[in-house]
Amino acid sequence: MNDVLLIGVGHPDRGDDAVGPAIVRAVRGACPDGVRAIEAGGDLLALLELWAGARGVVVVDATRGAGMPGRIVRLTPLERASSGLAMPAFVSSHALDLASVLDLGRALGRVPRELVVYGVEGERFGGGEPLSAEVAAAMPRVIDQVMTELSRLAAGSPCTNTR
C-alpha cells in the first residue's frame, strides 16, 4: 500500500467531533489521484495499521482546549502531538484518543514520516448536535489547507514544517 491517506477522526453525531468525518465527506470526490479518504472513530489503535506503508497521511480531528472555537492547528509528528490535542471528555479510555495513539505509534516506530495532523478547535460535543457555527465557518479554510497538503503529498513533495 503506497497511497496517500486522508483520515477524518471523530463521531459524525457528536457536535464538533464530526469535523473530521465532515471534511472527509466534503473532499472525497475531489481528492487528487492516489488519495484515499477514510472516516475513523471508535478504536483509534486501528490507525497504526491503517496508515502502515502509506506514502503520506493527513489526519483531521477536533480539539479541545486549543483556543477559540474554529481555530485550526497544524501539527507534524516531530512535535509532541498531544500538546494541542485534548481528549474530548466523552471519548472513552478504552478506545485510545488520537494523541495517545500518536504517542504509542512514535514509541513503536509506527508513525509515518509524512504525517500531518489538523486539529480544529470544537465548541460543543453533545450527542445529536450539529457542528457549531464557528466550526462550520472554519470548514472552507480547513478544506483549502487539507487539499493543498494532499496535493503536495500526492505529488511526492516532502513535508514542510511550518510550525
Partner 1 sequence: MTSDGERTIQVEYLARVEGEGALHVTIVGGRVTDVALKIFEPPRLFEALLRGRRMTEAPDITARICGICPVAYQMSAVHAIEDACGVTVGGQLRALRRLLYCGEWIESHALHVYMLHAPDFLGVANVIEIARRDPAMVERGLQLKRAGNDIITRLGGREIHPINVRVGGFYRVPTRAELRPLAERLAVARELALDTVRWVAGFEFPDYTREPEYVALRHPTEYPMCEGRIVSTAGLDIAAREFDLHFVEEHAARSNALHCRLRARGAYQVGPLARFRLNYDRLSPLAQQAARDAGIGDGCSNPFRSIVVRAVEIVYACDEALRVIAEYEPPEIAAIDVPPRDAIGFGCTEAPRGLLHHAYQVAADGTLRKATIVPPTSQNQLAIEDDLRAFIADRVELPDDRLRWQCEQAIRNYDPCISCATHFLALTVDRS
- Residues engaged in binding partner 1 (CB under 8 A): 42-43, 45-46, 48-49, 89-90, 92-96, 100, 103-104, 107-109, 127
Q: Please choose, from the candidates 120, 119, 116, the residue with its C-alpha nearest in 3D space to the C-alpha of residue 78.
A: 116
Give the three-class secondary structure for 35: strand
Q: Which of 86, 96 has the CB closer to partner 1?
A: 96
Q: Which of 61, 149 has the CB closer to partner 1?
A: 61
Q: Which of 63, 100 has the CB closer to partner 1?
A: 100
Task: Name the helix (H) or strand (E) containing 59.
Answer: strand 56-63
CA 84/CA 67 separation, integer angstroms: 9
Q: Which of 39, 149 has the CB closer to partner 1?
A: 39
Q: How far is the CB of 113 from partner 1 (least distance, A)?
A: 18
Q: How far is the CB of 7 from partner 1 (least distance, A)?
A: 15
CA 1/CA 38 separation, integer angstroms: 15
CA 93/CA 35 separation, integer angstroms: 30
Q: How far is the CB of 119 from partner 1 (least distance, A)?
A: 19
Please state the separation of Cα 140 from the chain's center in Å. 15
Residue with cell 465527506: 25
